[in-house]
Structure 1
Amino acid sequence: MSERVLNVGLIGFGLSGRYFHAPFLSVNPRFKLKKVVERSKNEAQDFDPTIENARSVDELLADTSIDLVFICTPNDTHFSYAMDALENGKHVVIEKPFANTEAEAKQLFDVAERNGLIATAYQNRRWDSDFLTIQKLIQEDKLGKIVEYESRYDRYRPEVLPNTWKEKQAEGSGNVYNLGPHLLDQAFVLFGTPQTVTATIRSVREHSDVDDYFDIHLGYEDKMVIIKSSLLVYENSLRYSIHGTKGTFIKRGLDAQEETLRKDVLPDVENWGAEPEDRWGTLYSDHFTGIIPSEAGDYMAFYDSVYDAIVNGQELAVKPAEILRTTRVIDLAFESNERQTTISY
């Protein structure tokens, strides 16, 4: 194993920087979280006094010791910040959405390749406990041939929050860009590239300026894949309904890693990622009907993949071609909704 330690800079220290990236980077000896961009606050130092502060993106990118930059800022800034980082010789991890269009994503990968750098998207939901459990069930043929897969990520936020960028019109705003990349990426990991995309995208809350509901149908030759999200679902525990020729799997509740991180628990504790038993899913089949214990979630696998790609030349877990596919399908979903028709991939 290489003894090299990657120096990391974070652009932004909100929910993503503070509660997702900083904890994992702080306990993984392969990384050193060196510097964080905060224009006026000092919350990074409250988390770890050894973290240096940068008051601007330019200041961070001018630090020649920084190897890798995580971009944890509003969606309309992802492309420009990522481009600046790549042009300054930094590897980049970009929060979802990786880019707001397929064309932008291609530009970023072109610059990364030209400069010999790694660029990837933070698709941490590949390592959710429930998704790992579903992958195992499919690999073990417990469900048979999948004929219908529905994945939901709903919330109940009836009031439009006035002081958050997520509720304001801007490039990359809205629920499709916020939660869509996670659900799409999971579906593609399981089933590959779809043949068609059919989408309904709406604003269902009063006074909402952004889309807060989507229903995207991905057409495959032998199955229907549905991903949905709404911010106006009071009983929002349902996550997956999967039907196959041998059985059905129903899963409720969310992976526990985010809520654990929000309690300031670092991801080096025993039984990290273990899901509470009351969230375990149920398999229904002739062979077995009952509760299926969830696999332990582990977002650290993402960070190890990034390290191995940069230092050891290994293939990224979240590959450029996969990211381009997700951005393309989001483009097609908006086109499908606008034209009210099914679009071929």
Structure 2
Amino acid sequence: MSTIIQVGLIGFGLSGRYFHAPFLSVNPRFHLKKIASSRPDAVHQFDASIEWVATADELFADASIDLVFICSPNETHVDYARKALEHRKHVVVEKPFATSEREANQLLELAKRQGCLATAYQNRRWDSDFLTIKRLLADGRIGTVVDFEGRYDRYSPVDPNTQSWKEQPGVSRGNLYNLGPHLLDQALHLFGKPDTVQATVRIIRPHSRVTDYFDIMLGYPDKVVRLESSLMVYHNQLRYSLHGTEGSFIKSGLDIQEEHLRLNQLPNQAAWGAETQDRWGTLYRDGHSERVESERGNYTPFYDNLYEAIVNGAEPAVTPTDILNLARVIDLAVESSRTQQTMLF
């Protein structure tokens, strides 16, 4: 009989409830056994068979749990991951994986000593738009990329009465650590580590107490790579702009999986992740333009790879090198913004 991985989940907010629990619940190779959360009603409403505990320590103490997903506030990630690894449990850490490259390296070294897997959740590699871009690049449809722009914007004005931890100042708080890892991981996945990092990280929303805007230039010898995100963009349409030696590709809108997950739809539906035609991007080349059908987005491969990595020793999709390179870019972006200088990678 095949191994079923017993899973514990820490935190049941947006990430735990809408991104991980649905995919784990429909994958027969995982059993979501226990959730540590301050929201027992939400846990029971999702699935009454899942055990609820109030603290992460109660979850760590369960010897039957093989794998822990850490979906709690940013500044708790390193501590929870360390404790999970000390209990010889594999860990998947939501972004940011750690608050610095140094801490990321410490966690990965601990995982290696414990014989456990520690990896980061980078679901946006399996977004519809990003999969479409990878297909176009693999097929040579725009030639060699010379100019790449990725944006991830939202309209999220500050509610003065909000109690959300994401709007409270603290270590690893703010948009660079929230949406930044998505854009950065995609760029590093496509182009590898850069030579230089230049960034502006600042506050632009009225009454905001956390940085909510960034723009980052990753320096490569043969291309320009710009990544930008703002929480004050009402019409947040532009997603990607790619220009190559043989054509350009422009893509708007966001992958639809999050929309469907928030509507309590499960990812085992037949048409999961299929974009409607009005969201398809446009390819410009040879004096013509054409709408390009989007690849179907699906985060399931992340979990399939996770299983293979834990049970059969496959290489994780998000490797330690991926994690460290991303953490280093974020550290350099913070320093670049502070000093107004371009940083060498």
Match of residue 117 from structure 2? 118
Matched, 1:308 2:330: no
Q: Could you tell me how far apart the structure 2 residues matched to 1:102 and 1:160 are?
A: 32
Matched, 1:75 2:77: no
Q: 1:39 to 1:236 in 2, by over 3 A?
A: closer
Match of residue 6 from structure 1? 5
- For residues 317-343 of structure 1, what are the alpha-carbon distances to aligned partners after superposition, in whole Å with 9 as ceiling and x for unaligned? 010100100000000000000110100
**How much has 1:41 moved relative to structure 2?**
2.5
- For residues 260-310 of structure 1, what are the alpha-carbon distances to aligned partners after superposition, in whole Å with 9 as ceiling and x for unaligned? 011111100101110111110000110752100000011010011111000
Matches within 5 A, 1:116-155: 116-155=115-154
Q: Could you tell me how far apart the structure 1 residues matched to 2:58 and 2:154 are?
A: 37
Matched residues, number:
344
Matches within 5 A, 1:1-345: 3-39=2-38, 41-160=40-159, 162-286=162-286, 288-345=288-345
Give 1:180's aligned amino acid: G
Question: Which one is further off, 311-320 or 160-169?
Answer: 160-169
Is the Cα contact below 8 Å between 1:154 and 1:232 reproduced in 2?
Answer: yes
Q: Could you tell me how far apart the structure 2 residues matched to 1:128 and 1:99 are?
A: 23
- For residues 142-178 of structure 1, what are the alpha-carbon distances to aligned partners after superposition, in whole Å with 9 as ceiling and x for unaligned? 0111110000001112334621111111111000000
- For residues 75-105 of structure 1, what are the alpha-carbon distances to aligned partners after superposition, in whole Å with 9 as ceiling and x for unaligned? 0100000001000111000000000100000
**How much has 1:45 moved relative to structure 2?**
1.5
SS for the counterpart of 1:289 is: strand
SS for the counterpart of 1:142 is: coil
Q: Could you tell me how far apart the structure 2 residues matched to 1:196 and 1:274 are?
A: 36
Q: Could you tell me how far apart the structure 2 residues matched to 1:192 and 1:55 are?
A: 41
- For residues 161-215 of structure 1, what are the alpha-carbon distances to aligned partners after superposition, in whole Å with 9 as ceiling and x for unaligned? 6211111111110000000100000001111110000001110011111110000
Q: 1:40 to 1:299 in 2, by over 3 A?
A: closer
Q: Could you tell me how far apart the structure 1 residues matched to 2:144 and 2:45 are?
A: 50
TM-score normalised by length of structure 1: 0.98
- For residues 31-89 of structure 1, what are the alpha-carbon distances to aligned partners after superposition, in whole Å with 9 as ceiling and x for unaligned? 00000002353311211111011111111000000000000000010000000100011
Q: 1:284 to 1:6 in 2, by over 3 A?
A: same
For the aligned residue pairs, the C-alpha RMSD in angstroms reads: 1.0
Give 2:189's aligned amino acid: V
Is the Cα contact below 8 Å between 2:40 and 2:52 reproduced in 1?
Answer: no
SS for the counterpart of 2:263 is: coil
Question: Which one is further off, 313-322 or 33-42?
Answer: 33-42
Query: What runs of 5+ residues in structure 1 fail to find an aligned partner?
Result: none
Is the Cα contact below 8 Å between 1:160 and 1:167 reproduced in 2?
Answer: no
Is the Cα contact below 8 Å between 2:247 and 2:285 reproduced in 1?
Answer: yes
Q: Could you tell me how far apart the structure 1 residues matched to 2:25 and 2:157 are?
A: 36
**How much has 1:113 moved relative to structure 2?**
0.2
Give 1:327's aligned amino acid: A
Q: Could you tell me how far apart the structure 2 residues matched to 1:286 and 1:220 are?
A: 27
Q: Could you tell me how far apart the structure 2 residues matched to 1:287 and 1:305 are?
A: 41
Q: Could you tell me how far apart the structure 1 residues matched to 2:21 and 2:157 are?
A: 31
Is the Cα contact below 8 Å between 2:212 and 2:230 reproduced in 1?
Answer: yes
Give 1:145's aligned amino acid: T
Question: Which one is further off, 151-160 or 69-78?
Answer: 151-160
Question: Which one is further off, 281-290 or 259-268?
Answer: 281-290
Is the Cα contact below 8 Å between 1:8 and 1:34 reproduced in 2?
Answer: yes
Is the Cα contact below 8 Å between 2:199 and 2:214 reproduced in 1?
Answer: yes
Q: Could you tell me how far apart the structure 2 residues matched to 1:281 and 1:12 are?
A: 35
SS for the counterpart of 2:179 is: helix
Identity %: 59
Q: Could you tell me how far apart the structure 1 residues matched to 2:314 and 2:285 are?
A: 40
SS for the counterpart of 1:235 is: coil
Is the Cα contact below 8 Å between 1:42 and 1:53 reproduced in 2?
Answer: no
Q: Could you tell me how far apart the structure 1 residues matched to 2:38 and 2:202 are?
A: 34
